[in-house]
Amino acid sequence: MARASGAPAGVRAAVIDGLLEVDLGPRVRAGFTTTRFNLALAAGVAALRAAWGTPLALADQVHGATVAWVTRPGPAATAGPSGLVELARVGAVRAGPDALAGAGPVGPGAGGLDGAGVSVYPACDALAAGVDGAGVSVYPACDALVAGVDGIGLVIRTADCVPVLLADPSAALVAAVHAGWRGLMAGVVNAALGALQSRGARHVRAAIGPAICADHYQVGQDLAAAAAQAGHSVSRGPDGTAHLDVAASVRAQLEAGGARIVADLRECTAESARLFSWRARRDTGRQAALIALT
């Protein structure tokens, strides 16, 4: 199931080969890469910069519900050899399932978007050097990035987990979210929505990228029980095995949180030859989900 045929709703005509661009509104560029567009290679980064004109900030996943704000590099920032952006985390939002609406305040008062107390992380050199190669920089440990400034591309990477891109063009806010089952259970989608809404977002549009489908996502009985208890979508295979539909739960959380899903690729990473899958093939490559205000 869930294999896309033809262009899914919300996907734009290709500008960059191998990048599935989605339309999240004016001034927003957003999309999901396939195996044909390898962001781990410098050529991929260069192609993206040429098309979008933005440097990139990359989040490393922790499979929780931590959101980081990304700011434009200040005068003191040192760009890496690739010219990619530095990542400044000005306020981490750590939200549990019961504290999702309490994502704020971040920004001024809690560090300041461009003010004091900014923690600056190393430049994202790894994107040019090879994400899985040597010289990988240390990134902020978070599952979601939010930016309220123009000209910075946010990147999260997935192989089977659900990538979500969020934008409210009228509020000039964008976010990239990595939602695996741990993040789902921890409330990463709601944490990201809360982070946007606490900064003034009122009309959030969402795009859901390729992820593993329930049929191909068998989980243990303990996780299945916990997920079912938490109200997530758990199904049973013919042999009684438990299967988790993370994308379905992400969809439900987005809609419950007031976001409008304008693109939903519904392409299974385990089934599609143009996507990486850790579960199905132990692929070490990753899809990138990218978004920027331009």
Residues that bind Zn ion (CB under 5 A): 213, 215-216, 268, 270-271
Residue nearest Zn ion by beta-carbon distance: 268
> What's the burial of 265, exposed, middle or buried (CB within 10 Å: 0-12/13-18/19+)?
buried
Helix and strand element counts for the chain (H, E): 7, 17
Rounded to a whole number of angstroms, the minimum distance from the CB of residue 213 to Zn ion is 3
Of 175 and 270, nearer to Zn ion (C-beta) is 270
| Closest CB 185 distance from Zn ion, rounded Å | 21
Smallest distance from Zn ion to CB 3, Å:
7
Task: For residue 75, say if its preceding peptide bond is cis, omega within 30 degrees of 0.
Answer: no
- Residue 215, judged by CB atoms within 10 A of its CB (0-12, 13-18, 19+), counts as middle
Residue 253: in which H helix or E strand, if any?
helix 246-256
From the list 45, 109, 55, 54, the residue with the least C-alpha distance to 86 is 55
Q: Looking at the DSSP assignment, which residues form a beta bridge with residue 293?
A: 28
Of residues 58 and 214, the one with the C-beta less far from Zn ion: 214
Q: How far is the CB of 119 from Zn ion (least distance, A)?
A: 39
Distance CA 137, CA 131 (A): 9
Query: 178 or 216: whose CB is closer to Zn ion?
Result: 216
The nearer residue to Zn ion, 39 or 246, going by C-beta atoms, is 246
The residue among 125 and 215 lying less far from Zn ion, judged by its C-beta, is 215
Q: Closest separation between CB of residue 1 and Zn ion, Å?
A: 6
